[in-house]
Amino acid sequence: MRDAVLSALSTVNDPELHRDLVSLGMIEQVQIEAGAVHVKVNLTTPACPLKGQIESDVRAAVLTVPGVQTVNVTFGATVRAAVMALPGVKHVVLVGSGKGGVGKSSVAVNLAAALARDGARVGLLDADVYGPSVAHMMGQGAARVSANAERKMQPIEAHGLRFLSMANLSPAGQALVWRGPMLHSAVQQFIKDAAWGELDYLIVDLPPGTGDVQLSLTQTVQVTGAVIVTTPQAVALIDAARAVDMFRKASVPVLGVIENMSYFVAPDTGITYDLFGRGGSRQLGEYPLLGEIPLEVALREDADAGTPAVLAHPQAPASVALAQAARRLAGQISVRAEHRALADLPGQLTVV
């Protein structure tokens, strides 16, 4: 019966990778006892957006095998990467925006927290050196970065992830008056001289715009891709298009767009207002729209209170949209990793 079960499983495709689970090496275990079959599927990310579909497809396929009465599906996950971005770090993902104030840091913090909540090992680097806000949003504005025994910067741990921010290097409340090259080398150090440990995803909150820090980062590490955060109105989109162009020129794939402050639902009437013209980000090109995040008081309040909204108010509509965006992003990263692996090693997917 085992062969029949495996052959049934080889008809089930991963919905995003468009290859079957057996040849993708995703079937970790098959146990058969009388008519009861247990299948363990090893997903390419714990934040898999299509877990439910894979489960029902596996169940339906195995139930076609004569003699099978029940099917139990469980999941594990190993994030795959064709190459390591840094020693121990599988994927570096840049979060950028064309202009300031569109909610880039809020999105970066919540994407990181959502991926960590789903079970991924996540780091968050605040490379927004001119206006570092990640530490405050993580409730760690007063924490100070220490060095470990190897004299490497030790990321601060909070809310299930590790992060580093310039705000935790300087005395609280004081501005860092550094010149461009110093900022450049500070960001390089954050990446290379920090004890990030083993990470599936290192999310980088870039400064707004298309300046030196952004470019130097794309030249420092193997970046898996970038996420563009924008608001839907024309003035923001023009700048976002510039950010897209910068990544294109630096050969950094754009993994998707997140439209923030997309709409507002009045809490008293329930009426939806498209304050800035919802859906405008589709004009940026054929990039996956990872999410439309509503304007919501709770998101701002949670940021000010130092807990990412996806953790503090997981049921709030903005949190639901952000958690979904994080899963779609993880899905896009898996697709990239597979394409890259196939390009490098035809027919094989490297698991690191």
Ligand X SMILES: Nc1ncnc2c1ncn2[C@@H]1O[C@H](COP(=O)(O)OP(=O)(O)OP(=O)(O)O)[C@@H](O)[C@H]1O
Annotated binding-site residue numbers for ATP:
98-105
300 near ligand X, judged by CB under 6 A = yes
In the sheet where 225-230 sits, what is the strand order? 156-158, 161-165, 122-126, 199-205, 89-96, 225-230, 254-260, 289-293
Cα–Cα distance list, 269 to 117, 136, 260, 265, 272 (Å): 32, 33, 22, 8, 9
Among 293, 330, 337, 349, binds ligand X (CB under 6 A): 293
Applying CB under 6 A, what is the total number of residues that bind ligand X? Answer: 21
* Interacting span for ligand X (CB under 6 A) from 86-94, 151-159, 296-304, 336-344: 296-304
Nearer to ligand X, 118 or 296 (CB): 296
Among 14, 126, 239, 296, binds ligand X (CB under 6 A): 296
Among 44, 106, 140, 332, binds ligand X (CB under 6 A): 106
303 near ligand X, judged by CB under 6 A = yes
What percent helix, strand, coil does the chain show, rounded to 5? Answer: 35, 25, 40
Provide the token pair at 130. 């001119």
Nearest approach in angstroms of CB 283 to ligand X is: 19
Among 103, 155, 232, 308, binds ligand X (CB under 6 A): 103
* Interacting span for ligand X (CB under 6 A) from 9-17, 24-32, 52-60, 299-307: 299-307
Nearer to ligand X, 97 or 224 (CB): 97
Task: List the one residue out of 18, 15, 84 whose CA is nearest residue 344.
Answer: 84
SS3 176: coil
Among 25, 88, 119, 131, binds ligand X (CB under 6 A): 131
Nearer to ligand X, 45 or 262 (CB): 262
Q: Are 310 and 322 in contact (CB under 8 A)?
A: yes
19 near ligand X, judged by CB under 6 A = no
Q: Rule CB under 6 A: which of 152-181 touch ligand X? A: none
CA 324 to chain centre: 10
Interatomic CA distance for residues 203 and 95, integer angstroms: 7
3-state SS string for 60-124: HHHHCCCCCCEEEEEEEECCCCCCCCECCEEEEEEEECCCCCCCHHHHHHHHHHHHHHCCCCEEE
96 near ligand X, judged by CB under 6 A = no
Q: Rule CB under 6 A: which of 221-260 touch ligand X? A: 260
Is beta strand 199-205 parallel, antiparallel or unpaired with respect to 153-154?
A: unpaired
Among 39, 113, 261, 316, binds ligand X (CB under 6 A): 261
128 near ligand X, judged by CB under 6 A = yes
Nearest approach in angstroms of CB 250 to ligand X is: 19
β-strand partners of 158: 161
Residues that bind ligand X (CB under 6 A): 97, 100-106, 128, 131, 133, 208, 260-261, 293, 295-296, 299-300, 303, 318
